[in-house]
Amino acid sequence: MKKQKENLIPLARDIVMDHIPQLVVVLGADDLILDVNEIAEAWTGIQKSEMIGKDPLQIFKAWPQFLNRMLVTEETREEVTLPGDPVRIVELMVIPIKNKNDGKLSSRAIVAHDVTERKQAENDLTDMNEILWGKIEEVESLRAQLQEQAIRDPLTGLFNRRFFSETLEKESAQAIRENSPLSFIILDIDFFKKINDTYGHKCGDFVLQTFANFLSDNVRTGDLLCRFGGEEFVILMPNASTESAYERAEVLRKQFEAMNIEFENQNIKSTFSAGVATFPNHSASSEAVLSLADQALYQSKANGRNRVTMYSAVSL
């Protein structure tokens, strides 16, 4: 019975070694190959009989990463790439085997598990995630562009009437909290129809763009500038009294009157009229104050244009 068991031990070893789905190489204390399994034969294309007793540097010279790791004396686990056809990515484990008596290294088992498909799946997933995040960023960018387009006037690039209406409530609420004035300046280019009729709509658009740029360059940082429609513009001035807003509008009026607008070799002169009103001084409703500034604007037009008028219940 004892002899039968002894005969079965190498048979069992051979069965286990050759049925392990990983590459297995066993090195002796002298770093020569003691044993390999069938997977090692299949991957290297070298017969087991040609590997036993050989220096691994000779057998595995085509796999430099594999060689560098398999010769370490400490237990290790890491991924390495095995060149060839096909190229394999393996999880390499080096297992030192030491004598029980003196603790010295007697051999090493090197096991390489093929993780190529898993790594490819992970890489594919990473690529898909990158594509997905790219699409998300693209959608977010498009959404931001659409949102920006929804609140911007396409001709002048200024905020539009919709954005002004959305912002007005917030600005008026802040003015109440801070007990500070919120002034409105409504500006209208004088005789704009005549510019269109004389020079054409292309020139009219250019004048509107020039006027918008002029206002953008000359309003305060905290002011809100909008194209309200047609040739009408609005400046919302937080923490500005009626007098301050009037003075600012007057400066703008004089500067714009002095400007030469050059369009296709023609010099065009233009002016604007304006009306000024302040919340909550003139009304407890910011929407009503906007209407009062508009009334002051029409007073400027009625008095000859190219002028600024402060709202006054007496004068109207």
pLDDT per residue as tens digits for the range 112-126: 999 988 888 888 888
For residues 196 and 5, the model is more confident at 196
Neighbours of 302 (CB within 10 A): 10
Assigned fold of 2-114: Beta-Lactamase (3.30.450)
Q: Which residue, among 100, 106, 101, has the nearest Cα to 34 in the 3D structure? A: 106
Beta pairing class for 224-229 and 232-238: antiparallel
Catalytic residues: 231
Provide CATH code, domain 154-310. 3.30.70.270
- 2 pLDDT exceeds 70? no
Beta-carbon contacts of residue 105 (< 8 Å; ≥ 6 apart): 29, 73, 96, 97, 98
Banded pLDDT at 186 (limits 50, 70, 90): very high
Neighbours of 17 (CB within 10 A): 17
Write the pLDDT tens digit of every residue in 144-166.
777 777 889 999 999 999 999 98
Strand order in the sheet with 308-310: 224-229, 232-238, 182-189, 272-279, 308-310
Can 2-114 and 154-310 be said to share one CATH topology?
Answer: no
Residue 232 contacts residue 269 (beta carbons within 8 Å) = no
Can you give the pLDDT at residue 300? Answer: 96
CA angle 1, 12, 60 (to 5 degrees): 145
Sign of dihedral through CA atoms 6, 10, 13, 15?
negative
- 277 pLDDT exceeds 70? yes
Instruction: Enumerate the domain spans of the chain.
Output: 2-114, 121-151, 154-310
Element (H, E) at 202: helix 201-218
